[in-house]
Amino acid sequence: QGGNNAGHTVVVDGKEYDFHLFPSGIINPKAISFIGNGVVIHLPGLFEEAEKNEKKGLKDWEKRLIISDRAHIVFDFHQAVDGLQEVQRQAQEGKNIGTTKKGIGPTYSSKAARTGLRICDLLSDFDEFSSRFKNLAQQYKSMFPTLDIDIEGQLKKLKGYAEKIRPMVRDGVYFMYEALHGSPKKILVEGANAALLDIDFGTYPFVTSSNCTVGGVCTGLGVPPQHVGDVYGVVKAYTTRVGIGAFPTEQINEIGDLLQSRGHEWGVTTGRKRRCGWLDLVILKYAHMINGFTALALTKLDILDVLDEIKIGVAYKLGGKRIPYFP
């Protein structure tokens, strides 16, 4: 799920890579990387990311990358609309959501409204694709009169991308079925975003537009629940958040600054400073209720080494009473 709104910094053999659409396994020459149907793909973003990482030594990625034919496409006008919506929210409500302006929300909106276009549409009849693209662009233009869309220019670029990705595209459901039932192999599923950004279970409306909980494995790849094995929760020894939303253990003081600077807490996609605070066990337990972790990977413990005292959020009170759930 997700798109190039989320970023992963991956350091291997002293080399640092930034991934947004690429699965982190793309570095491993022995691994096949697969972008599932639940992901929304901005094609210019995919090739820009490839180019940046090629300069860092990434080789032959196109031989190891497979893309689901059912993944939805993020268009440039989705990105423009994302920015316009944020401006609108700020003007109307005095606050925005703090999106990455990468067009993710508008693309999932198109998907839910059944007006979206998928990779398979781009690769089949291009005339049919073009007319649906024009209709979608027109819908957005009527909603946002200031929106300027170079329809012909965009279509020309998309036609070029279609040929570049064609060799990588497969029927994703059949691909996963064969992977699960063929010769034994290890399959690692990587989600984008964090549990508390899930559209259903996160701190709505300050969330992303997809399911970043373990259910996304079933819906985003077409993997039946019986095939989901171990579920690893990845959690820092402190809590961070990029963008707006509730954050009870946040430290807006020198502790927060220390965690931010020592932990190099910058959003990989936006470059924004991450908000930092003490580890919140209430949200960790809540994430466990939804995902059923078989293990936790606790990271960045060493960032706290310089502190004499470490605090942890253990409970929430509502109306003066301790509550056993996440409100």
- The reply to whether 235 and 178 lie within a common domain is no
| Token pair belonging to 1 | 């799920």
Angle at 190 (CA atoms; ends 273, 231), nearest 5 degrees: 110
How confident is residue 243, by pLDDT bands cut at 50, 70 and 90? confident
Segment holding 11, helix H or strand E: strand 8-12
> Amino acid identity of 320?
G
Q: Say whether 236 is catalytic.
A: no
- 252-279 pLDDT, tens digit each: 999 999 999 999 998 777 788 999 999 9
Segment holding 169, helix H or strand E: strand 169-170
Count structural domains, the chain. Answer: 2
- The reply to whether 60 and 138 lie within a common domain is yes
Short-list 108, 101, 132, 128, CA closest to 40: 108
- The reply to whether 52 and 134 lie within a common domain is yes
Structural domain includes residue 221: no
How confident is residue 136, by pLDDT bands cut at 50, 70 and 90? very high
pLDDT of residue 6: 80
Sole residue written with tokens 């095939």: 227
Domain boundary among 122, 153, 187: 187
Structural domain includes residue 204: no
- Tell me the C-alpha distance between 203 and 212, whole Å: 13
- 139-186 pLDDT, tens digit each: 999 999 999 999 999 999 999 999 999 999 999 999 999 999 999 999
CA dihedral 91→92→98→101, nearest 10 degrees, is -70
CB 71 within 8 A of CB 121: no
Structural domain includes residue 246: yes
- The reply to whether 238 and 148 lie within a common domain is no
Per the confidence metrics, is the pTM higher than 0.85? yes
- Tell me the C-alpha distance between 198 and 255, whole Å: 28
- 183-224 pLDDT, tens digit each: 999 999 998 889 999 999 999 999 999 999 999 999 999 999
The CATH number that applies at residue 261 is 3.90.170.10
- The reply to whether 267 and 170 lie within a common domain is no
- The reply to whether 254 and 319 lie within a common domain is yes
The CATH number that applies at residue 159 is 1.10.300.10
Give me the helices (H) in the chain, please. Answer: 43-55, 61-64, 76-93, 104-112, 119-123, 126-143, 151-165, 172-181, 215-221, 254-262, 281-291
- The reply to whether 5 and 145 lie within a common domain is yes
- 86-99 pLDDT, tens digit each: 898 888 888 888 88
Contacts of 226 by beta carbon, 8 Å cutoff, 6+ apart: none
The Cβ of residue 196 has, within 10 Å, a number of other Cβ atoms equal to: 25
Range of the domain at 238: 230-323
pLDDT of residue 51: 96
Short-list 310, 326, 307, CA closest to 318: 326
What integer best gives the mean pLDDT of the chain? Answer: 94
Structural domain includes residue 25: yes
User: Which sign does the torsion angle of CA 33, 36, 39, 44 carry?
Assistant: positive
Residue 227 is classified by DSSP as G
C-alpha to C-alpha distances, 178 to 65, 181, 216, nearest whole angstrom: 16, 5, 19
User: Which sign does the torsion angle of CA 91, 95, 101, 103 carry?
Assistant: negative
- 270-304 pLDDT, tens digit each: 788 999 999 999 999 999 999 999 999 999 999 99
Residue 250 is classified by DSSP as B
- The reply to whether 20 and 133 lie within a common domain is yes
Catalytic residue, candidates 15, 52, 55, 111: 111
Domain boundary among 152, 187, 222: 187
